[in-house]
């Protein structure tokens, strides 16, 4: 397509789409025999003949980039510059490994079906391949292809105008992990490339909170004093009962080799339960007892399980007395003696409503006998893992579900022991996360609002109360101001597909002066952008994959193929923009380009290979120093994976339970009665 011609609407009418699809299918059917009969056809994005064997293909180890967090291994098989199929780990890539090699300590890093189907995303018709600018009304989905020069010049000029006119809060950073999550090319709210770029530019409102688990984050910090409440998944192999509450690890691992370790548990006699409105693949895979529950009623069922446990005196009272605050009258803080404790609430001592299984059954649609049966299984089985996943907390007051789950985990003594589980957020082992220069500009902001409150802020500014947008009511030197948002930059994020109240977001986005979307595909958010910037996928740039929250391994990501179309890496885009902004405003932005990317000059926009390699080599040296890695960088590149071996499975709060280390709460205990919340005043 000529860059000066109008693109067809990216969101065509469904009727037109079906007509076009039907005609295309008929044409494809008529020509399929001729194509299949051909023997000399070159490799292309999708299926072709002949079907090449492995010895005719180049094989390169890389990883998945879906945002379930696991980043398991993908092995790309390519012909020329086209990936023709993807496989996964078969044991040959571990140090000292061979085909079929696998141990409990060093399992294969096999990708799930969603990861192995990544070619469909890589070569999707929805790939964004060229810079585009809007030519219709915002949200209409009509764009025109332009050059990189035109797109970046427009952005740079508008950024300076916005900063000069509205001040340092005018541009809202809405970056998140998406598929741009590596140690070098990273979209993230705190450690991301956009965060550092806008912070150095001096015009940034950041977005805090993640819709996936914000209720869980609040609960874990309130209850345990940290979000590092997760075991590594090898601990699941030692569980005798695993309750998957709102969790479907067949689709979303949330860690490394989750299915492998759960399979080991199954082989060792572990029983499985799924509490979920849907019958999931995980329920099928583990022959689990499926308990369907009415959505958003999970806290009631957990409360009823606690009631059964108390009434039948099945709680681990010794654990409660030693490690918990506020479970019963004997564990209340001195200043709160006589006030309602958790047991009082569950038994209905003050409100006259015992939280019985019959009471919960009316709310959640689960039979009272099933609630009693599950409560009895959990209280009498040890170690047992109640994995309270994020999804049930994605609603109003969702943190109460996680708080209730934590109370049940604590009162049964299943925290800090191998095979138990304290998970809310689930953060476990620490990865060495960032390769680029992480300096004082890494997370600079002039305002920081809760991500789902941006539309409210835009529509009501300046008549906005601080607490309405997620700011502490009383401002201090560590807090931001109410921002005057006039632009949004989406980077590896798709908030129009994630946040609530989309109609309110649409109303707000119409008021903005600039909307930029940098992504590898055309997303629902991108349809509302003014400028679309094509970002290379992880197959098209050099990086290292790391799992978030769990999974103790690193996977090398070579540049498997050249970037499709005119796509560029995130780091290339922001580096070039830094140089352009410096040229437009040399007095205030002198040296911006070099400070943002110290290892590069302006040629980086056309050739990123040596620079990216240099950053990753430095990062690997840091990994060797900080984490005791002995493998060389060259061997890591050759093998494609480095797997950490622990002396014992990582279990959250093991030191607190075994060594008496205080929890990071005001009381030093697991706070079922929160001293922080109890003393918050209006």
For the stretch 649-668, pLDDT in tens is 999 999 999 999 999 999 99
Q: Give the domain 214-424+652-678 fold.
A: Dimethylsulfoxide Reductase; domain 2 (3.40.228)
Q: At residue 440, does pLDDT exceed 70?
A: no
Non-local (6+) Cβ contacts of 463 within 8 A are none
Q: At residue 48, does pLDDT exceed 70?
A: no
Q: At residue 106, does pLDDT exceed 90?
A: no
The stretches of 169-297 forming alpha helices (DSSP H) are: 193-201, 214-223, 258-267, 281-285
Of 3.40.630, 3.30.70, 3.30.200, 3.20.20, the CATH number of 52-123+545-563+619-643 is 3.30.200
Structure tokens at 524: 């629902």
CA 639 to chain centre: 26
Q: Per-residue pLDDT tens for 115-174?
A: 889 999 999 999 999 999 999 999 999 999 999 999 999 999 999 999 999 999 999 999
Structure tokens at 503: 């109609």
Q: Check residue 36 and give its pLDDT.
A: 33
For residue 115, which of 252, 309, 290 has the smallest C-alpha distance?
252
> What is the rounded distance in angstroms from the CA atom of residue 321 to the CA atom of residue 314?
14
Structure tokens at 280: 């999931």
> What is the rounded distance in angstroms from the CA atom of residue 142 to the CA atom of residue 12?
10
CA 585 to chain centre: 36
- Band (pLDDT 50/70/90 cuts) for residue 21 is very low
Q: Check residue 157 and give its pLDDT.
A: 98
3-state class of 621 per DSSP? helix
Q: What is the mean pLDDT of the chain?
A: 88
Q: Are 165 and 132 in contact (CB under 8 A)?
A: no
Q: Per-residue pLDDT tens for 367-419?
A: 999 999 999 999 999 999 999 999 898 888 889 999 999 999 999 999 999 99
Structure tokens at 479: 């807090």
The pTM assigned to this predicted structure is 0.88
β partners of residue 291: 275
- C-alpha to C-alpha distances, 29 to 35, 63, 411, 584, nearest whole angstrom: 10, 34, 63, 55
Q: Per-residue pLDDT tens for 627-640?
A: 999 999 999 999 99
Q: Are 672 and 327 in contact (CB under 8 A)?
A: yes
For residue 45, which of 4, 86, 6, 10 has the smallest C-alpha distance?
86
Other Cβ atoms within 10 Å of 397 Cβ, number: 11
Positions of CATH 3.40.228.10 in the chain? 214-424+652-678
3-state class of 577 per DSSP? helix
Q: Check residue 27 and give its pLDDT.
A: 40
Non-local (6+) Cβ contacts of 659 within 8 A are none
- Band (pLDDT 50/70/90 cuts) for residue 6 is very low
Positions of CATH 3.30.200 in the chain? 52-123+545-563+619-643
Query: Region 525-540: what's the mean pLDDT?
Result: 96
β partners of residue 205: 172, 447
- Band (pLDDT 50/70/90 cuts) for residue 18 is very low
- Band (pLDDT 50/70/90 cuts) for residue 322 is very high
Q: What is the CATH number of domain 132-210+436-535+570-607?
A: 3.40.50.740
Non-local (6+) Cβ contacts of 479 within 8 A are 471, 472
Q: What is the dihedral of CA 119, 125, 131, 137, to 10 degrees?
A: -140
- Band (pLDDT 50/70/90 cuts) for residue 17 is very low
> What is the rounded distance in angstroms from the CA atom of residue 232 to the CA atom of residue 209?
24
> What is the rounded distance in angstroms from the CA atom of residue 302 to the CA atom of residue 402?
10
Q: What is the dihedral of CA 588, 593, 595, 599, to 10 degrees?
A: -170
Q: Check residue 489 and give its pLDDT.
A: 95
Q: Are 119 and 83 in contact (CB under 8 A)?
A: yes
3-state class of 82 per DSSP? strand
Query: Region 297-317: what's the mean pLDDT?
Result: 98
Q: At residue 603, does pLDDT exceed 80?
A: yes
Non-local (6+) Cβ contacts of 545 within 8 A are 62, 63, 64, 65, 71, 181, 182, 538, 554, 555, 556, 557
For residue 513, which of 492, 534, 530 has the smallest C-alpha distance?
530
Positions of CATH 3.40.50.740 in the chain? 132-210+436-535+570-607
**β-pairing, 543-545 with 531-534?**
unpaired
Name residue, tokens 């590896």: 492
Q: At residue 22, does pLDDT exceed 90?
A: no
3-state class of 85 per DSSP? strand
Structure tokens at 417: 């022991």
- Band (pLDDT 50/70/90 cuts) for residue 445 is confident
Question: Which of 60-74, 386-400, 555-569: highest mean pLDDT?
Answer: 555-569
């Amino acid at each position: 397509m000529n860059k000066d011609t109008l693109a067809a609407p990216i969101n065509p009418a469904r009727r037109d789409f079906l007509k076009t699809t039907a005609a295309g299918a008929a044409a494809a059917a008529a020509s399929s025999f001729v194509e299949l009969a051909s023997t000399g056809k070159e490799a292309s994005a999708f299926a072709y003949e002949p079907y090449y064997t492995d010895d005719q293909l180049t094989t390169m180890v890389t990883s998945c980039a879906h945002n379930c967090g696991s980043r398991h291994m993908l092995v790309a098989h390519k012909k020329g510059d086209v990936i023709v199929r993807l496989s996964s780990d078969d044991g040959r890539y571990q140090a000292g490994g061979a085909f079929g090699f696998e141990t409990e300590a060093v399992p294969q890093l096999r990708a799930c079906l969603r990861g192995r189907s990544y070619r469909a995303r890589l070569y999707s018709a929805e790939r964004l391949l060229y810079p585009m600018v809007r030519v219709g009304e915002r949200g209409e989905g009509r764009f025109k292809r332009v050059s990189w020069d035109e797109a970046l010049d427009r952005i740079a000029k508008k950024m300076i105008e916005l900063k000069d006119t509205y001040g340092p809060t005018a541009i809202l950073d809405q970056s998140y992990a998406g598929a741009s999550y590596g140690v070098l090319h990273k979209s993230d709210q705190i450690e991301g490339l956009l965060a550092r770029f806008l912070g150095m530019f001096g015009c940034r409102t950041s977005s805090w909170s993640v819709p996936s688990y914000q209720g869980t984050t609040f609960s874990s910090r309130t209850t345990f004093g940290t979000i590092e409440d997760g075991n590594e998944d090898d601990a699941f192999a030692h569980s005798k009962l695993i309750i998957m509450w709102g969790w479907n690890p067949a689709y979303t691992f949330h860690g490394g080799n989750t299915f492998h370790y759960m399979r080991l548990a199954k082989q060792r006699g572990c029983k499985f339960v799924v509490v979920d409105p849907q019958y999931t693949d995980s329920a099928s895979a583990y022959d689990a007892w499926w308990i369907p529950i009415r959505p958003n009623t999970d806290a009631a069922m957990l409360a009823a399980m606690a009631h059964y446990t108390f009434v039948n005196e099945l709680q681990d009272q010794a654990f409660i007395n030693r490690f918990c605050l506020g479970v019963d009258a004997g564990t209340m803080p001195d200043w709160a003696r006589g006030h309602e404790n958790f047991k009082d609430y569950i038994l209905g001592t003050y409100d006259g409503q015992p939280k019985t299984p019959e009471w919960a059954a009316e709310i959640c649609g689960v039979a009272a006998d099933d609630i009693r049966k599950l409560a009895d299984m959990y209280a009498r089985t040890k170690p047992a893992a109640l994995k309270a996943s994020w999804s049930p907390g994605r609603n109003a007051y969702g943190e109460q579900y996680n708080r209730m789950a934590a109370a049940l985990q604590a009162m049964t003594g299943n925290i800090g022991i191998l095979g138990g589980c304290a998970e809310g957020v689930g953060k476990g082992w620490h990865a060495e996360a960032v390769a680029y220069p992480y300096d004082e500009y890494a997370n600079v902001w002039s305002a920081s609002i809760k991500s789902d409150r941006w539309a409210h802020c835009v529509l009501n500014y300046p008549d906005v109360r601080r607490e309405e947008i997620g700011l502490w009511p009383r401002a201090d030197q560590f807090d931001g101001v109410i921002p005057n948002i006039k632009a949004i930059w989406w980077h590896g994020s798709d908030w129009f597909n994630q946040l609530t109240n989309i109609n309110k977001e649409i109303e707000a986005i119409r008021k903005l002066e600039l909307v930029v979307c940098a992504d590898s595909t055309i997303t629902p958010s991108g349809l509302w952008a003014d400028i679309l910037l094509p970002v290379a996928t992880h197959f098209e740039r050099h990086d290292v994959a790391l799992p978030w929250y769990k999974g103790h391994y690193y996977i090398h990501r070579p540049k498997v193929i050249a970037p499709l179309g005119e796509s560029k890496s995130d780091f290339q885009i922001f580096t070039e923009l830094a140089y352009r902004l410096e040229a437009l405003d040399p007095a205030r932005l002198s040296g911006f380009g070099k400070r943002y990317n110290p290892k590069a000059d302006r040629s980086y926009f056309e050739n990123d290979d040596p620079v990216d390699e240099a950053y990753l080599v430095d990062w690997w040296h840091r990994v060797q120093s900080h984490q005791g890695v002995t493998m060389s960088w060259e061997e890591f590149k050759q093998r494609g994976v480095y797997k950490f071996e622990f002396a014992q499975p990582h279990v959250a709060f093991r030191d607190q339970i075994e060594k008496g280390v205080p929890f990071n709460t005001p009381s030093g205990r697991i706070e079922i009665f929160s001293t922080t919340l109890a003393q918050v005043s209006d």
